[in-house]
Amino acid sequence: MGQLPRLDIKTLPGSKTVLRKELENGIIFLARENFSSPSVVISGYLRVGALLEEAHMAGLASMTAASLMRGTRQRKFGQIYHSIESIGARLNFSAGKHSISFSAKALAEDLGVLLDLLYEVLLTPTFPKAQVDRLRAEKLTALGIRDQETSARADMAFNQLIYKDHPYAIPTEGNKKTVAQLTAANVRTFHRKYFGPDGMVICVVGGIKARQAAKAVSERFKSWKRNGQVSDLSVPSVSPPKGLQRTHVDLEGKSQADLVMGIPGPPRSDPDFISAALANNILGRFGMFGRIGDVVREEAGLAYYAYSTLAGGMGPGPWQVVAGVNPSNLEKAIELIRGELSKIIRRPPDEDELDDNKANFIGRLPLQLESNEGVAGAIVNAERHSLGIDYYQKYPDLIASVTRDEILRISQRFIDPDNLAIASAGPPATDGKRPGSKRGRKKGGGAARKAREPQS
């Protein structure tokens, strides 16, 4: 085994430097001091997400999150933003499937002002009709743009293939049909029904004493009463595709085709997730996007970009390969990618390749934690996935302990080049045949056979 980076774990977040408290109303508070910085960062989330929407109202959680700062009982839209900008601060909200997240930043001396605003927009938004109508129009414009983007359409088509009737098949932002009918009344009902302190996480990192920050948060949020309802944000499991499931979205006037192919992957809570993350790094992240980047982009010159991603969220998020190609190279790119998928499940990586990827994981951790935003995000992530407050101090050893056989085992557990969802979006075929109309649908196609042959 090669020499891996050695980190001083005392500098990493852990139980001795991170304060964790649970308020009586169910809010979990986290804090870490950093007096080398004059600022503070707030990061957190509420257990409210798009999984709580009805399918015909897709986009409602996203609309609600975006409407929070459009007006409150105390302040109008312009007054809210003036309060933020007058202290050089920021405050943002975004919605996901399982949560609505928030992030904020200000000078440490203005933490109280920022917390007052956070409390106000979470508990007393008024969702003025004129503002919600304006926001809906903005979202419809954005959705119209999205629907003409090859990368977005390929990704949505991929989700339809692997998730089908699963809630992950529905875009969090919704679509033009569902968003067009959302009203201020819908947003108010969603907020009243689901927003509450149960399971809320709020983390403060920066130039303020942790106990002082805890007191400031408690003083403002302890009055938020539990609504007596624990929202069910669980999702069903997903079976892998059977055979090669293909689809192509025709978009006139496009010169590039985007490709997304893969399978449902492990949730972050999976005991083998770290091994899967290392396998993904080897496959399509390390250096110039791993093995896939080397073969598809650098050697064959078939793609503008080619890499792999592993979602690793609360549920079975996708493990996928993404590429942007000339439409004439689409089938060749698919064959080469399937070939690399075949290789990673046939034999383990050699020791040097695995050590390089381990060193990458360990070495970049301090860089990810060098800012208040990075530390806050990491602490919230550990809380979200129940990793433990000392997770990042254990992290270097967890990475170092992964073996070549574990990389092979986790790859074989999830990846099968003959059973994949393959979605693409781009210009229609000029010969009248849809991409993948023949060999792309055939199990055991050319890529898998070619990968088993000796390579020159």
Q: Do residues 47 and 127 both lie within one domain?
A: yes
Task: Please indicate, yes or no, if residue 6 is contained in any of the structural domains.
Answer: no
Nearest CA among 245, 254, 343 for reference residue 294: 343
Q: Per-residue pLDDT tens for 189-236?
A: 999 999 999 999 999 999 999 999 999 999 999 999 987 766 778 898
Contacts of 189 (CB under 8 A, 6+ apart): none
Q: Are 420 and 240 in contact (CB under 8 A)?
A: no
For the chain, what is the mean pLDDT?
Answer: 93
Residue 261 counted as domain residue: yes
pLDDT band at 436 (very low <50, low <70, confident <90, very high): low
pLDDT of residue 451: 29
Name the domain boundary from 187, 221, 255.
Answer: 221
Q: With bands split at pLDDT 50, 70 and 90, how would you rate the model's confidence at 72? A: very high
Looking at the fold, whether 305 and 187 belong to one and the same domain comes out as no
pLDDT tens digit sequence for 274-318: 999 999 999 999 988 999 999 999 999 999 999 999 999 999 999
* Domain-located, residue 278: yes
Q: What is the tens place of the pLDDT at every residue in 360-373? A: 999 999 999 999 99
Helices (H), 201-293: 210-221, 273-284, 286-292
Does the residue 3 lie in any domain?
A: no
Contacts of 232 (CB under 8 A, 6+ apart): 51
453: number of Cβ within 10 Å: 8
Cβ partners under 8 Å of residue 244, min gap 6: 418, 419, 420, 422, 436, 440, 441, 442, 443, 445
**Do residues 203 and 256 share a domain?**
no
Q: Which domain holds residue 176?
A: 15-221
State the pairing for strand pair 257-264/201-206: unpaired
Residue 439 has pLDDT above 50, yes or no: no
CA R_g for the chain: 24
The domain that holds 128 is classified in CATH as 3.30.830.10
What is the average pLDDT across 174-191? 98
DSSP annotation string for 253-269: T-S-EEEEEEEE---TT
DSSP state of 207: S
Say whether both 141 and 259 belong to one domain: no
Same domain, 180 and 269: no
Same domain assignment for residues 24 and 121: yes
In a domain, 381, yes or no: yes
343-361 pLDDT, tens digit each: 999 999 999 999 999 999 9
Residue 236 lies in a domain: no
**From CA 337, how far away is CA 339, in angstroms rounded?**
5
Q: What pLDDT score was predicted for residue 359?
A: 97
Phi-psi group of 298: left, alpha or beta (phi > 0 → left; psi -120 to 50 → alpha; rest → beta): alpha
> If you ran DSSP here, which 8-state letter would residue 205 be given?
E
% of the chain with per-residue pLDDT over 90: 90
* Pair 209, 274 in one domain: no
**Claim to verify: residue 201 and residue 325 sit in the same structural domain:** no
284 and 318 inside one domain: yes
Res. 452: pLDDT tops 50: no
- Judge contact between 24 and 197, C-beta under 8 A: no
pLDDT at 389: 96
Place of tokens 């393959």: 422
Structural domains in the chain (count): 2
* Cα torsion angle, 288, 290, 293, 295, sign: positive
Same-domain check for residues 152 and 185: yes
